[in-house]
Amino acid sequence: MANHASAKKRIRQTNRRTQINGSRRSSVRTYVRKVEEAIESANHEAASTALRVAEPQLARGAQKGVIDRNMMRRKLSRLSVRVKKLKS
């Protein structure tokens, strides 16, 4: 257990950040899941709308360090390819 005041503060900060990051990560996953559900329903307009909503959320997650920047780019790329396939 921490004995120094600075170590105790660091533990408090870490716990707070862990909660916030978990909430953000969950939010990002929810937006991605909504896009995937729209793709599964084969509705191009719903899928493209969901993708437009999810894109800034993914970018914000990467900016905050919750998800990796390359992971965000890979997810957006793969989702957009799947949405484009629905159009044809």
> Residues 3-39: pLDDT tens digits?
899 999 999 999 999 999 999 999 999 999 999 999 9
Beta-carbon contacts of 38 under 8 Å, excluding residues fewer than 6 positions away, are: 46, 47, 49, 50
Domain boundaries, the chain: 5-87
Give, in words, the CATH class of 5-87: mainly alpha
Residue 28, helix vs strand vs coil: helix
pTM of the model: 0.85
